Structure 1
Amino acid sequence: MLVLTRKVGESVKIGDDIELKVLSIDGEQIKLGIDAPREIAIHRKEVYLSIEQENSAAVETSVDLLNFLKKE
């Protein structure tokens, strides 16, 4: 893991297309701005994990349904 120190208004570049900018700091809360191409999905980690879990459940349901249909 790369650890960097940035001040308000400073940025970090990720590759050629992504910029992460510190917009403000208020106590323990940091507001970040992310400039990236539209085709790159950006989610908070808890949202990303929820999406992964829902996708896994959907795949399991699909596999169960296919197995059920094959038996008929």
Structure 2
Amino acid sequence: MLVLSRKKGESVIIQDEIEITVLGVEGDVVRLGIAAPGNVEIFRKEIYISIQEANRDSVSPASVNVGALLKQYQSPK
């Protein structure tokens, strides 16, 4: 992790495309402005984690009672 100190109005550039600017500091709250190309997705971390969890849940198989499923499709004797 790179740790930098920046003052209000100062910026950091990432890979010639993304600029992060300190807009203000009020107590424990830092306001950041992020300028990036439209194809770069930017999320707050808690939102990003929520999206990742929802994606995992949507692709994980639901638990299935295989025995009950087989009984349902077996032909009567």
Q: TM-score, normalising length from structure 1? A: 0.83
When you count helix as a share of all residues, which structure comes out higher?
1
Instruction: Note the C-alpha offset of 1:16.
Output: 0.8
- State how 1:1-72 maps to structure 2 within 5 Å: 1-61=1-61, 64=62
Root-mean-square deviation (CA, aligned residues, Å) is 1.7
SS at 2:54 equivalent: helix
5+ residue gaps, structure 2, are 63-69
Q: How far, CA to CA, are the matches of 1:56 and 1:40 in structure 2?
A: 22
In 1, distance between residues paired with 2:47 and 2:12?
23
Sequence identity percentage: 48
**Rg larger in 1 or in 2?**
2
* Length, aligned pairs only: 65
List, as ranges, runs of 4+ consecutive aligned residues in structure 1 with deviation greater than 6 Å: none
TM-score (normalizing by structure 2) = 0.78
